A and B are shown apart, each in its own frame.
Chain A
């Protein structure tokens, strides 16, 4: 079994490969040095996996790179893969998310400023999903500290017309007609930073996750607040009880067990480190009803690492691996679904995303 762990950092992409059931790793990189790699996708819908990376140079701008040889070489088309049409009056700042669509060869990209792009050629070139850009709410979507971006894209596993996106700030939006119309889906999610804390939209949802076998069940880590929806995002209820804090960024589903989820709580908006300075992941095996801390093998001394919204993931090996990276450049992995952890890499630039796959 080969396992690939792609690590996007503030200064390039690192690729870690394991051939011994994730006991040891060979790491290459940085690919695209001095670019921020906020989004990575490992597309296994084709014969050989295709890697996609959303890279941003602070000097020379953003792009999307693809590799069909596991990062040995990278391709970029002559025309900009993602560009805003002239009439929008804006320009691409960053690609925050790359996600496979329901249909073969379809890839979605979430960008800063908040927009959704669709590729029909496997992620090489993209077109703006115009109805979401033209949504009447868009002028009221705000920007968090990280910028205004669509950072979560969840195409329905079976229905190509159904897509959920989430943005900061703005919240959750859903389409049921292939992107022609979009409705907010934030009922029950609190926006404590607004005069009306229960608005139709405007929430700062940090991440939404779901298991493909239960597409109506969604889990969200909010800017304060952890939620579950059982109706595809029409309504949400808190599942924060049992966690040491309801603040954090990441939310990950187990790849094989619906209702099993992972989170990495941070103390608070104003205290962005783990509660008690204790580096630990929390897992729920009952869809958020109860939570268990997971820390065996993780640092036991004071830890100040932040795990960002895409910096935690699972692989899809028969016994799932779980991974997370911190802003202080550490990457940890578990070969046994979170029971035990090992350090995979340290002293990297700040980790902004991780993605893993096994084959």
Chain B
């Protein structure tokens, strides 16, 4: 099992949860599963082409991650809005 850490601004789309469990795998696989369980949350992380949005950063166990990054059993996936806007 891996854990997705949800930033406060997106928790409404996670039913208020700060953490969501997921099966280990690549981030592409994990986000695809998230799209089925929490579609509104997932589309705030990825656009309709499947790419991670430009101003959303994802980390696996503290390291910058992309869709090909593997999140092994026990990993924590952090989703963080980047510094942007005015």
Contact = CB atoms under 8 A, between A and B. Distances in A.
Interface in A50-105: 57-61, 76, 78-80, 83-84, 86, 89-92
A60 B56 contact: yes
A106 interface: no
Contact of B49 (A57, A60, A78, A86): A86
Contact of A57 (B44, B48, B82): B44
A58 B48 contact: no
Contact of A83 (B9, B45, B48, B56): B48
B44 A58 contact: no
A78 B44 contact: no
Given A34-B85, A58-B85, A59-B82, A92 B53 contact: no
Contacts of A80: 43, 48
Interface residues of B, number: 18
B80 to A, nearest CB: 10
Interface in B55-86: 55-56, 81-82, 84-85
A329 B82 CA distance: 27
A60 B84 CA distance: 11
Contacts of B40: 76, 78
B34 to A, nearest CB: 12
Interface string B8-31: 011000000000000000000000
A60 B44 contact: yes
A59 B55 contact: yes
Contact of A59 (B39, B48, B56): B56
A130 B49 CA distance: 18
Given A76-B40, A80-B43, A60 B81 contact: yes
Give the most central of B10, B39, B47, B81: most A CB within 10 Å: B47
A90 B49 CA distance: 7
A57 B81 CA distance: 11
Contact of A61 (B44, B82, B85): B44
Interface of A: 34, 57-61, 76, 78-80, 83-84, 86, 89-92
Interface of B: 9-10, 39-40, 43-45, 47-49, 51, 53, 55-56, 81-82, 84-85
9 contacts: A59-B9, A59-B56, A59-B85, A60-B10, A61-B47, A78-B40, A86-B49, A91-B49, A92-B48
